[in-house]
Each structure stands twice: as structure tokens, then as C-alpha cells.
């Protein structure tokens, strides 16, 4: 595969994030046999503390406590960087019921601000 279609989970390219939070949940479908989940992250501006971004999946849009899985955790970044996560398959995402996806981001120090863009695709 040479290229992926990028479905944006969090677009903070204009307004920076400054607190730990979860993004909106999107129904993008499960990972089925023969498919891979590709994901990437751009940290476009940063603070000294560092930002950790995760991609989480759940079988319900509510992402209730204990009812979601963190499938991708990008390396904490405190400078401009791009990261491409290792593609996941059904060996990693074992339930096709997990069709809802969201981004989660964690600022090391509250009040710091980061511009970012993270996306995924299942293909």
C-alpha cells in the first residue's frame, strides 16, 4: 500500500489544545480480515512538557469507562514532529464490534498548548 485515505480524528491545526481531553467519537467501522488500521500524527507547535496522543476504539459511541481500548499511543512529543504508527490488523484489533473511534490527548503540564492533526484509516 502506497497511500492511505486519512479520516481526521482531531483537527487542532487552527486552535491549539491546552488541556487533556477526548475527541469526538466517529463511526468509522471495524477492522475486518484483510484490512489494516493506519494512523498518523502531526504535532505542529509544542510546549516544553510534551503531548501524548492516543487513538481509541469502542463498540459504543459513548466510550464508557472500561468499554474502550487504546489501540495506538504515539510517542510523547515536545517539539514539531510527525509520527506514523505501526499498522494494526485483526491480530491487534480483535473485535469488529469496535467501530467507534476517537482521539485522546494528554498534556504533561496543564496550560501548555499544542497544535496537532491526527488521522486514521481502515483499508
Partner 1 sequence: MASVIYKDAKIFVDGYNLSADHSELSLNYSAEMQDETSFGDSTRIRKGGLQVVQVSGSGFWDNASDSLVDDCFFGLMGTDDKTITLFPNGITAGASTLPGKGYAFKGVVSEFSWGDSVGSLLTFNITIEGRGIEA
Q: Is 80 in the site for partner 1 (CB under 8 A)?
A: yes
Phi-psi region of 48 (alpha: psi -120 to 50; beta: other; left: phi over 0): alpha
Sign of torsion over alpha carbons 83, 88, 94, 96: positive
Give the DSSP H/E element, type plus range, for residue 43: strand 37-45
Residue of 37, 40, 51, 53 that binds partner 1 (CB under 8 A): 40
Please state the closest distance from residue 14 (CB atom) to partner 1, in A: 9
Q: Is 23 in the site for partner 1 (CB under 8 A)?
A: yes
CB-nearer residue toward partner 1: 31 or 41: 41
Sign of torsion over alpha carbons 18, 24, 28, 29: positive
Collapsed DSSP state (helix, strand, coil) of residue 87: coil
Q: Is 7 in the site for partner 1 (CB under 8 A)?
A: yes
Binding site for partner 1 (CB under 8 A): 1-11, 13, 23-24, 26, 28, 36, 38, 40-44, 79-84, 86-87, 115, 117, 119, 121
Amino acid at each position: 500500500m502506497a497511500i492511505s485515505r486519512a479520516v481526521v480524528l482531531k483537527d487542532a491545526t487552527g486552535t491549539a489544545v491546552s488541556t487533556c481531553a477526548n475527541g469526538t467519537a466517529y463511526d468509522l467501522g471495524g477492522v475486518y480480515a484483510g484490512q489494516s488500521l493506519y494512523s498518523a500524527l502531526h504535532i505542529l507547535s509544542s510546549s516544553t512538557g510534551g503531548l501524548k496522543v492516543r487513538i481509541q476504539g469502542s463498540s459504543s459511541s459513548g466510550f464508557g469507562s472500561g468499554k474502550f481500548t487504546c489501540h495506538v499511543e504515539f510517542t510523547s512529543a515536545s517539539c514539531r514532529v510527525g509520527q506514523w504508527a505501526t499498522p494494526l490488523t485483526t491480530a491487534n484489533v480483535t473485535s469488529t464490534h469496535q467501530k467507534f473511534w476517537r482521539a485522546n490527548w494528554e498534556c504533561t503540564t496543564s496550560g501548555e498548548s499544542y497544535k496537532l492533526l491526527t488521522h486514521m484509516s481502515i483499508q
